[in-house]
């Protein structure tokens, strides 16, 4: 446990505070300044990308609670997002305002998550992953085939009163901050410790009075609550929901974000999503530029974009299985004694 010079724990309240050191305050301010700079830069592209990243982080935080904290794997996270997206889209389409439709989307997705979380009471690990695999297909099948409600493959309009991109960016950022704080708070209160206890040692957790039944389902509920809310934000961001946005591919990438970022870590979630989405965006832009200069070679290389992603994940699993969050911790330890060399 490292504390920088001048920071003392004088009370239990300080010891459990989230924003504790000057560095924490500086990071919060930096985030705020970054958002303001984005807003005043006036670049629609950047704001667009930042909004999308923030929505993805909200959803990934949900999976972090389920997989990182409680240790229950789910490969249907995008499908739960779809439930939220369609709920919010359909509700707003029938005249419900956004501030009601988003929480409704979260709750509906949460309840659906509860149903598909039921297998977790019997099976764990790899087997649970396969069970949630079924959830992905069942949910997406229902969405594409229930045409009366969802308008099928052509997508459902998701009207919103917020037309300005910058206003929507602010809304998403406020939500992101709220969900980040909530995720941090869960870990320092009763339910979060119960989640980690189940993850580490379900047998001992049960004998310590933690009801596995209750807390596993609660983890699924809260995780899908995040996903549903993020799904709603996603729908209104594009003002349209299409089923293919929530494919198995994107569900897998949610697990990828956590693996690259670090399981069980909130900053890790940020790192993972920003790295992967940034890489994706960078490569897309890079190829877009290259294709004008070397059309032949680029056309040949374009499919290798996926290879780069595969490689990133594999390299992370080999060299930093605990994710960027762990690298960050190591860096902090290193800087702690800087400039005196010491590599733990």
Partner 1 sequence: MTQNAQSHPSEPVLRTRNITLKFGAIQVLSDISFDIMPNEILAIIGPNGAGKTSVLNCLSGFYRPQQGSILYKNKDLTKLPSHRIAELGVGRTFQQIELFSGLSALDNLLAGRHIRMKMGLLWGAIYFGKTRNEELKHRRAVEEIIDLLEMQPIRHAHAGVLPYGLRKRVELGRALALDPEVLLLDESMAGMNVEEKEDMARYILDVHDLKKIPLVLIEHDMGLVMDISDRVIVLEYGRKIAEGTPDEVKSNKKVIEAYLGS
Q: Which stretch binds partner 1 (CB under 8 A): 30-38, 201-209, 288-296, 325-333?
A: 201-209
Q: Which stretch binds partner 1 (CB under 8 A): 125-133, 164-172, 208-216, 322-330?
A: 208-216
Q: How many helices (H) and strands (E) does the chain have?
A: 16, 2
Q: Name the residue nearer to partner 1 (CB basis): 160 or 199.
A: 199
192 binds partner 1 (CB under 8 A): yes
By CB atoms closer than 10 A (0-12, 13-18, 19+), residue 33 is exposed
- 258 and 270 in contact (C-beta within 8 Å)? no
Query: How many Cα atoms within 13 Å fall on the side-chain side of residue 81?
Result: 32
66 binds partner 1 (CB under 8 A): no
Which one of 196, 248, 279, 313 is in contact with partner 1 (CB under 8 A)? 196
147 binds partner 1 (CB under 8 A): no
By CB atoms closer than 10 A (0-12, 13-18, 19+), residue 342 is exposed
Q: How far is the CB of 221 from partner 1 (least distance, A)?
A: 8
Q: Name the residue nearer to partner 1 (CB basis): 15 or 153.
A: 15
175 binds partner 1 (CB under 8 A): no
User: Using CA atoms, how far apart are residues 211 and 169, in angstroms rounded to an integer?
Assistant: 40
What string of DSSP letters covers 110-161?
HHHHHHHHGGGGT--THHHHHHHHHHHHHHHHHHHH-HHHH-GGG-EE---S
User: Using CA atoms, how far apart are residues 292 and 306, in angstroms rounded to an integer?
Assistant: 21
- 325 and 262 in contact (C-beta within 8 Å)? yes
User: Using CA atoms, how far apart are residues 120 and 45, in angstroms rounded to an integer?
Assistant: 41
Q: Name the residue nearer to partner 1 (CB basis): 43 or 185.
A: 185
The residues, any chain, with a CB within 8 Å of residue 27's CB and separated by 6 or more, are: none
306 binds partner 1 (CB under 8 A): no
Which one of 25, 26, 37, 204 is in contact with partner 1 (CB under 8 A)? 204
Which one of 89, 218, 274, 324 is in contact with partner 1 (CB under 8 A)? 218
User: Using CA atoms, how far apart are residues 309 and 157, in angstroms rounded to an integer?
Assistant: 32
Q: Name the residue nearer to partner 1 (CB basis): 182 or 242.
A: 182
User: Using CA atoms, how far apart are residues 42 and 249, in angstroms rounded to an integer?
Assistant: 32
Question: Scanning residues 253 to 282, which ones bind partner 1 (CB under 8 A)?
Answer: 264
Q: Name the residue nearer to partner 1 (CB basis): 263 or 273.
A: 263
Among residues 53, 54, 45, which one has the least CA distance to residue 288? 45
The tokens 């909130």 sit on which residue? 266
203 binds partner 1 (CB under 8 A): yes
114 binds partner 1 (CB under 8 A): no
209 binds partner 1 (CB under 8 A): yes
Q: Name the residue nearer to partner 1 (CB basis): 215 or 246.
A: 215
194 binds partner 1 (CB under 8 A): yes
Give the contact letters, 219-258, x = binds to partner 1 (CB under 8 A), - = no: ---x------------------------------------
Q: Name the residue nearer to partner 1 (CB basis): 199 or 251.
A: 199
Q: Which residues bind partner 1 (CB under 8 A)?
A: 1, 12-13, 15-16, 181-183, 185-186, 188-194, 196-197, 199-201, 203-212, 218, 222, 264
């Amino acid at each position: 446990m490292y504390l920088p010079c001048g920071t003392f724990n004088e009370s239990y309240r300080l010891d459990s505070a989230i924003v504790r050191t000057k560095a924490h305050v500086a990071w919060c301010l930096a985030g705020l300044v970054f958002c303001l700079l984005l807003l005043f830069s006036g670049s629609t592209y950047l704001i667009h990308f930042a909004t999308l990243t923030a929505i993805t982080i909200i959803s990934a935080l949900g999976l972090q609670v389920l997989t990182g904290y409680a240790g229950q794997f789910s490969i249907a996270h995008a499908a739960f997002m779809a439930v939220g997206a369609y709920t919010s889209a359909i509700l707003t389409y029938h005249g419900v305002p956004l501030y009601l439709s988003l929480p409704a989307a979260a709750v509906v997705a949460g309840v659906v998550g509860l149903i598909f979380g039921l297998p977790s009471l019997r099976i764990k690990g790899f087997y649970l992953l396969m069970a949630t695999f079924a959830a992905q297909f069942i949910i997406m099948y229902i969405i594409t085939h229930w045409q009366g409600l969802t308008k099928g493959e052509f997508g459902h309009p998701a009207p919103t009163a917020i037309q300005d991109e910058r206003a929507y960016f602010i809304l998403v950022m406020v939500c992101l901050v709220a969900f980040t704080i909530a995720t941090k708070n869960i870990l320092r209160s009763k339910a979060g410790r119960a989640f980690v206890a189940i993850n580490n040692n379900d047998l001992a957790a049960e004998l310590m009075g933690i009801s596995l039944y209750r807390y596993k389902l609660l983890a699924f509920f809260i995780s899908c609550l995040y996903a549903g809310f993020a799904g709603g934000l996603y729908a209104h961001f594009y003002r349209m929901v299409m089923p293919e946005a929530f494919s198995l591919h994107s569900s897998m990438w949610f697990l990828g974000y956590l693996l690259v970022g670090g399981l069980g870590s909130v900053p890790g979630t940020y790192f993972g999503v920003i790295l992967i989405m940034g890489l994706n965006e960078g490569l897309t832009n890079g190829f877009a530029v290259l294709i004008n200069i070397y059309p032949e070679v680029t056309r040949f290389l374009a499919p290798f974009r996926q290879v780069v992603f595969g490689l990133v994940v594999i390299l992370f699993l080999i060299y930093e299985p605990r994710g960027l969050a762990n690298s960050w911790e190591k860096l902090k330890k290193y800087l702690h004694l800087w400039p005196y060399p010491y590599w733990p």
